[in-house]
Structure 1
Amino acid sequence: MTQRAEHSTVMDRLALDDLINGYARAVDDGDWPGYLALFTPDGRADYRSAGGIEAGTEDIAAWLAEMLRQFAMRQHLIVNRRIELNRRDGAPGDTATIQADYLNPMRLARPAADAGDDDPTAPNYTCGGRYDFTARRTPDGWRLTGVVVHEKWRQVRPLGD
């Protein structure tokens, strides 16, 4: 591999890492226009293993916006990323796959009548699993073409515990 190809690979990996960070940030912040901007127009996502839906990103963003209202706090920690760039003639290609584990501590929103909680920010709903991301290089940079969530576990504690 030439020095130019190695530099390109490093730059692609950094861009893909930033794309995945943007995904976590958009979901946690409820930034649905930002979420949609991370995807190609034909992008899809599959949240069925976590009790959700599989659909195009417009429908997914609407579903996430509605579903995540029940959480007063949420934070994605996406770790152990494995980035695979396709190769073309010995050089980095224009598609990639990323596998990454996630830990997602959240806080179920408490109804207004239940204001006696001693720590209203502590997580009481945590789940973990693995994401399978696919991405494609576009004129605007790397964009997601697909996201598949593989939830492996979840723990839910009653409010007030």
Structure 2
Amino acid sequence: MTQRLDLATVMDRLALDDVVTGYAAAVDDGDWDAYRALFTADGRADYRGAGGIEGPAAEVAEWLSRTMRLFPVRQHLIVNRRVSIEHVDGYPGERAEVRADYVSPMRTGAGEELLSGGRYRFGMARAAEGWQLRSVVTEEKWRRTGAAGALAGG
């Protein structure tokens, strides 16, 4: 690899990481305008692997805005990010994929807790304004529920 390609790859990885972090913050903060802005015009989200819906990002944002009202306390922790950037003729291309694990503790207004974990698959596309999501797929691997404090043993 040349130094130019190395630098471009590092810059892309940082930008892709910003998109994933922006995604988590938008969902946790209930900022559905920011959520929609992360996606390409034809971007889609698939939450069927966690009991949700699949569809265009704008429609899924509407569903999330209603569903997440049930959980006024929520926090995504997205870790173990594995980044694959398409390369074309030795240069970074226009597509990338980030696979990452998540843990998501949430609490309802009634004090019930939901703790789940699994894996995200983020499909990314390079756009004029930077990297954007073309797809998000969630695969929940485990889930625990209980009264407030019960999950932490307290």
Report if TM-score (shorter chain) is over 0.5: yes
The aligned residue for residue 141 of structure 2 is 152
Which residue identity lines up with residue 92 of structure 1 in the other structure?
P
SS of corresponding position for 1:124: strand
Flag the structure with higher strand content.
2
TM-score, L = length of structure 1: 0.90
Tell me if the contact between 1:108 and 1:159 (Cα under 8 Å) persists in the aligned partners.
no
Provide the C-alpha distance between the structure 1 equivalents of 2:137 and 2:45, rounded to a whole number of angstroms: 6
Q: C-alpha distance in 1, partners of 2:75/2:147?
A: 19
Q: In the alignment, does 2:38 pair up with 1:38?
A: yes
Extract unaligned runs of 5+ from structure 1: 111-119
Aligned counterparts of 1:85 and 1:17: Cα–Cα separation in 2: 12
Instruction: Give matches, 1:36-115, under 5 Å.
Output: 36-110=36-110
In structure 1, C-alpha distance between the alignment counterparts of 2:148 and 2:90, rounded to whole Å: 55
Number of equivalent positions? 150
Which one has a bigger Cα radius of gyration? 1
- Give me the TM-score of the superposition, normalised by structure 2: 0.94
Distance of aligned partners of 1:3 and 1:124 in 2 relative to their CA distance in 1, 3 Å threshold: same
Give CA-to-partner distance per residue, 1:14-70, whole Å, 9 cap, x none.
Answer: 000000000000000000000000000000010001110000011100000000111
User: Partners in 2 of 1:145 and 1:104 — Cα distance?
Assistant: 22
SS of 2:49's equivalent? Answer: helix
Q: Quote the sequence identity (%).
A: 55
Quote how far apart the aligned CAs of 1:85 are: 0.1
How large is the RMSD of aligned CA atoms in angstroms? 1.2
Question: What does the per-residue CA deviation read over 1:97-153, in whole Å, with 9 as the maximum and x for residues that have no partner?
Answer: 01000000111111xxxxxxxxx6xx8210000000100000000000000000001
1:78 maps to amino acid: I
